Each structure stands twice: as structure tokens, then as C-alpha cells.
């Protein structure tokens, strides 16, 4: 068993200094559409897929990069959180690779954490999705690349240590299971 204490950092930034979750769907209808299972799977309707990963960051290596190099890793400007235009943004930047299109969004709430005792600094990536295929598509693009080899540059500084997939039932489903 592992216990990790997360914390809020600045204005929703990761421990690397960039804002997390800027592509999150907003509004109740959008969040329900992308975060809850719909009519395509009536037995699980309004449940959700929950995906959690623990990433450890090499802060020393990342902080050794100049500000423009760090921004190229993310594809967005650090201070303003404004995404670079597509013609400027590197094809292997995090914002270019992790984006799987407007029809395939997830709801994320990443949490930075740190453990000085064992020198672990990182991010817990937490995502809700209406289909696991959305999360898989994002992970495939990040780790394998599209085209193959164009993986997420952030992974040069961040290592996934865990990965878990859960199904989150509705309260009605839980009541049905208890009967």
C-alpha cells in the first residue's frame, strides 16, 4: 500500500510550473458528455471510467532547460498558459501529442506531490472518461507516437510509475449490487 500526499500548486500548475487541465470540458453538459458513460452502453450508463497514473519528474533535468525549451516541451507559454500556434508548436510537445481531438476529451484533475525523504517529485494524473478508448488513444499517442516515434517530449522528464483503470458506478448501481 502506498500513501501519497498531493497539494495545490500556484494556480493549478504541475510541479513543473505549467497549468494542468486547460483542455478540460467546462459546463455540466460537456462534463457529463465526456465524463459519463452514455446510451452506447446502457448497463453502465452514467458510470465512468477512472484512470490514474503516478508520474515521477526529473526536476533537475527539466529545470536545466531554458524557459523557451521548457515551453517547447509543453507547447504552451509558462507564465500566460497560452498554447502556441500549431505552426510554431513542436509536433512532439505535450499539448500536441496528448490532444486526441475535440470529440475525445477527458476530465482531468492532476495533483502535484512531493516526498523529500525519498526524493520523489511528480504528478498524479487523474482522468474520468466516458470510454476507456479515449484514454487509450491518448496514452498510445503519448508513449508510442503518431506517427510512431513522435512520442510526448514530456516523457523525457517524466516517468510513469503506476497506471490503474477503475470503473466508477452510479449510486443506483451500488444499491443494485447490495440487493
- Could you give the residue numbers annotated as active site? 20
Contacts of residue 112, defined as CB under 8 A and 6 or more positions apart, other chains included, come to 6, 7, 8, 9, 13, 14, 15, 121, 122, 123, 124
Burial class (CB in 10 A: 0-12, 13-18, 19+), 51: buried
SS3 content of the chain, % helix, strand, coil (to 5): 30, 25, 45
Q: How far apart are CA 46 and CA 50, in angstroms?
A: 13
Query: What distances in angstroms separate CA 34 from CA 19, 101, 162, one per listed residue?
Result: 21, 12, 24
DSSP strand E in 33-84: where?
Answer: 48-57
SS3 15: coil
Amino acid at each position: 500500500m502506498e500513501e501519497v500526499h498531493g497539494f495545490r500548486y500556484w494556480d493549478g500548475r504541475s510541479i513543473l510550473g505549467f497549468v494542468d487541465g486547460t483542455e478540460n470540458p467546462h459546463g455540466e453538459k460537456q462534463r457529463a458528455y465526456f465524463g459519463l458513460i452514455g446510451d452506447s452502453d446502457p448497463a453502465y450508463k452514467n458510470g465512468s471510467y477512472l484512470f490514474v497514473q503516478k508520474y515521477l519528474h526529473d526536476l533537475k533535468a527539466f529545470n536545466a532547460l531554458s524557459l523557451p525549451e521548457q515551453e517547447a516541451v509543453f507547447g504552451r507559454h509558462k507564465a500566460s498558459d497560452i498554447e502556441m500556434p500549431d505552426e510554431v508548436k513542436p509536433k512532439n510537445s505535450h499539448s500536441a501529442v496528448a490532444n486526441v481531438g475535440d470529440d475525445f476529451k477527458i476530465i482531468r484533475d492532476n495533483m502535484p506531490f512531493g516526498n523529500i525523504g525519498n526524493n520523489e517529485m511528480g504528478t498524479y494524473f487523474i482522468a474520468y472518461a466516458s470510454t476507456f478508448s479515449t484514454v487509450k488513444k491518448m496514452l498510445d499517442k503519448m508513449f508510442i507516437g503518431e506517427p510512431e516515434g513522435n512520442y510526448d517530449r514530456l516523457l523525457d522528464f517524466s516517468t510513469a510509475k503506476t497506471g490503474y483503470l477503475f470503473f466508477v458506478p452510479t449510486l443506483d448501481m451500488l444499491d443494485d449490487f447490495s440487493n
